[in-house]
Amino acid sequence: MTDAPDTAPPAAPGRAAKLGFTALFAVLGLAALVAGSEIPPAVYEPVGSRAFPLALGALALGLAAAQAALLLPGLLRGRPAERDEPAAELWPAEARAAAAFALTVLWIGLVALTPLPFAPGTALYMLAMLAFLLRRCDARFLALAVPVSAGFAWGLTLLFTRVFYLSL
């Protein structure tokens, strides 16, 4: 048998997420620099509206560069970074969070962009989320979850439309 395979371990989630955050931060910093430079210079005051966007944009790029300089060598060498859960369980966990997010976006999209009223849409969303989070869809679960979801959705809708006059 040979020793451990000479392959780099997969990039750890903390480091990949940090790299993603750094990239987003750099893009926002660059956007602030570009958009800030298009703001007309001040007339009645010493610095004007463009100073903070330009300064913060430059600061963001500097900080992002420093973070990238710290992250990239480890990433290129494939050094494992700190992780808080086994790699085998990582992607299902991310997938669960992504699925919950997608379900929420779908619900908002349906009630905001289609004629689906808020109360039934919300009841369906709640029922789907409960089934997803509890991983149950049996009769006993439905006997409890359906009235809870319907009562919660219609109760809140009544409260906010009749008492607080929101146009949900």
Q: How far is the CB of 143 from another protein (least distance, A)?
A: 15
- The site for another protein, by CB under 8 A, has a size of 66
Comparison of 72 and 99: residue with beta carbon closer to another protein: 99
**H or E element, residue 52:** helix 51-77
Binding to another protein, residues 149-168 (CB under 8 A): 149, 152-153, 156, 160, 164, 166-168
Angle between helical axes of 118-134 and 87-113 (0-180°, round to 10): 170
Comparison of 63 and 146: residue with beta carbon closer to another protein: 63
User: Cα–Cα distance between 92 and 166 in angstroms, integer?
Assistant: 38
Binding mask 16-55 for another protein (x = CB under 8 A): -xx-xxx-xx--xx-xx--xx--xx-x-xxxxxxxxxx--
Q: Does 79 bind another protein (CB under 8 A)?
A: no
User: Cα–Cα distance between 41 and 58 in angstroms, integer?
Assistant: 18
Q: Does 13 bind another protein (CB under 8 A)?
A: yes
Q: Does 129 bind another protein (CB under 8 A)?
A: yes
8 Å CB contact between 132 and 100: yes
Encoded amino acid at 36, one letter: G
User: Cα–Cα distance between 30 and 32 in angstroms, integer?
Assistant: 5
Among 8, 72, 87, 93, indicate the residue that binds another protein (CB under 8 A).
93
3-state secondary structure labels for all residues of 85-108: CCHHHHHHHHHHHHHHHHHHHHHH
User: Cα–Cα distance between 130 and 128 in angstroms, integer?
Assistant: 5
User: Where do contacts with another protein occur on this chain (CB under 8 A)?
Assistant: 13-14, 17-18, 20-22, 24-25, 28-29, 31-32, 35-36, 39-40, 42, 44-53, 56-57, 59-60, 63-64, 66-67, 70, 93-94, 96-97, 99-101, 104-105, 108, 112, 122, 125-126, 129-130, 133-135, 148-149, 152-153, 156, 160, 164, 166-168
